[in-house]
Structures are given as C-alpha cells and as structure tokens.
Amino acid sequence: MSILVVTGTGTGVGKTVVTAALATLAAARGASVAVVKPAQTGVGRDEPGDLAEVARLAGITDTHEFARYPDPLSPAAAARLSGRPALDLADTVKRIQDLAESRRLVLVEGAGGLLVRYDEEGTTLADLARELRAPVLLVADPALGTLNHTALTLESMAARGIEPAGVVLGSWPQTPDLAMRCNIRDLEMLAARPLAGAVAAGAGTLHAAEFLLAARSGLSPTFGGVFDATAFRERHGI
C-alpha cells in the first residue's frame, strides 16, 4: 500500500488535474487506486466537486469525500460559517489508512495550500501528511511569483519532517513567457531535484483517452509517465 498527498502553492494551480493524472497512470498500470478529498469547499450538496472531475478524467469511481461546505473558503472558515462540524484529523487519518489496506495507492488531494486550516485548532494538510507518514507532491504555478510560494511550502515541509515527492508544474502553457522559462531552473534548485512533471494547460478539458496521453507526457517515470526533466529544461529553460 502507498499513500501520496497532493498539495499546491495555492488554489487554482492544477492540483485536481495532477491528482487525476496520477490516478490515471496508476490505473493504467493495473494498480488499485482510491482518491480522497478530505474536505471540499465552494460546492453545493448536489453539485460536482473535485472528485467528479477526477472521476471524469481518470475513469475511476473509487473516490471519497469526507466533508463538504458550500462557501468557497478554507475548510475551517467554511465549516464555521455553515455551522457544520469541521474535519476530524484522527478520523480522517483512520479512514485513509483503512482505504490503504486494500488499495495499492491512495491519493489525498488537499484544499488550497499546505497550511490551509481544516479546523479552529489549526489542523492543516501538513498535520494530516505527517500523521499518515506520507510524502507530499507539490503542484506549482509556473508563473511569476511562484518561487516564493514554492520555497515557503518546501521549507514548511522540511520543518515538519515531511518527505517531498517532488514539484510538478500544474498548468504549463503552449507558449510560456519569460518568467515561466526562467522559473524552471530556479524551481529545480529550490526542490534540489529535477521537476517531477509539467502537465499541459488545458489538460483538464480533455476526454479520458486523450487525458491518459497528457498524463503520460506530463509526469515523470516515478509516477508512471515519460516526462523528461532534462529535455524539458533544455527545450524551455533559460
């Protein structure tokens, strides 16, 4: 069994698409995979959330959402405003560990970034990852401003003893600008390793068969893809 936590340098950086890509490649290798979204915010009771997007792209149905709040806020703030119970860390850890007992891979997608709060006591995705003893894959925005956000997230992970699984660019455009091209080498320096992937912008709009190809080309062999960080850096980097 294996558990991998997926977080981002912020909201809207491509965490869900990267999570779907990871699930797609695992399923293509014949692995049993479950995807967990501990807390979904900004979505009504009968509306599709992030897991619906993962299911559409990856073609899997083994998805699990533990809490849902209608307001597009942090889980802690959304729970407070809705009057609903906040996510319980111990219960969440147990439920994910139970899933991992019968799956080869469990993917856990966080809300927002690593230190976004799930409850009024300040529990974060970092606490969840540490309790699960799971590595964390960081999805980064390739654009100007990402270096500070990435550095702070990686430093927070190191300070908490969390194992980094790498950095993936969540939405790489067909025509990257100067800052994006320069950021490639700097992000690799921050991570102290080559990029673990760069998923093409717009991949989330593809059909399942097309998305499988995008996942393969966008993620490194570590995750079942063919992304070559050296070739990518030589082609785009400055």
- In the chain, the amino acid numbered 73 is L
DSSP reduced 3-state for 139: strand
Q: Are 168 and 139 in contact (CB under 8 A)?
A: yes
- Among 15, 35, 37, 227, the one annotated catalytic: 37
The verdict on whether 15 is a catalytic residue reads: no
- Sign of the Cα pseudo-torsion (144, 111, 123, 133, in order): negative
Q: How far, CA to CA in Å, does 136 sit from each of 3, 56, 208, 209?
A: 9, 24, 25, 27
Q: How far, CA to CA in Å, does 234 sit from each of 172, 181, 238?
A: 15, 10, 8
In order, the DSSP letters of 93-110 are HHHHHHHHHS-SEEEEEE
- Sign of the Cα pseudo-torsion (145, 163, 165, 30, in order): negative
Task: Provide the H-helix boundaries in 61-206.
Answer: 75-82, 89-101, 125-132, 146-159, 178-191
DSSP reduced 3-state for 195: coil
Catalytic residues: 37
